[in-house]
Structure 1
Amino acid sequence: ARLIGKIGVLRGDVEEIGVAEPRRALRAALVGEALRPAETTELWAETRAGFPASDIAGAFAEVTLLEAASERDEAVAIAVALRRAVEQPGQRAALVTGDRALARRVSIELQRFGVVADDSGGTPLANTPAASLLRLALEALFRPGDPVGLLSLLKHPLLGLGLERADVRHAAELIELVALRGGTGRPDIVSLPELFEARLTGLGGGSRQPFWFSRLTVRSIETARNLLERLKQALAPLAAFRGRDDADLAALVRASVVTLENLGRTADGGLGELYAGDAGEKLAELLRGLVAASASLSFAATEWPDIMAALIAPETVKPAQGTDRNIAIWGALEARLQTVDTLVIGGLNEGVWPRKPESDRFMSRLMKT
Structure 2
Amino acid sequence: MSGVHPADVPLAQARALVRRAVDKAEQLGLRGAIAVVGASGALVTASRLDHGGPGGMARARSKAWISATQQIPSSEHLQRMTTLPVPISTGFVTASPEALFPGAGGLPIRDAGGTVIGGISASGATVSPFLPAGVAPEVVSADGKPANPEDLLIAYAMGTPYVGQHGDDEARWKARFGDLVVSPEASLGMKPASPAAAQGELDWALALVDRVLAEAARQGLTISVAVVDRGGDPIQQDRMDGAVAGGVEVALATASAAARFGIPSEHLAAWYPADQLAALHPAPLLAAPGGLPIELDGQVVAGLGIGGAQPARCAALARDALTLAPSLPVPTSPAWPS
Higher relative contact order, structure no. (Cα contacts within 8 Å, ≥ 6 residues apart): 1
What TM-score results when the alignment is normalised by the length of structure 2? 0.26
What TM-score results when the alignment is normalised by the length of structure 1? 0.24
Counting strand residues as a fraction of each chain, which structure ranks higher? 2
Counting helix residues as a fraction of each chain, which structure ranks higher? 1
The structure whose Rg is larger is: 1
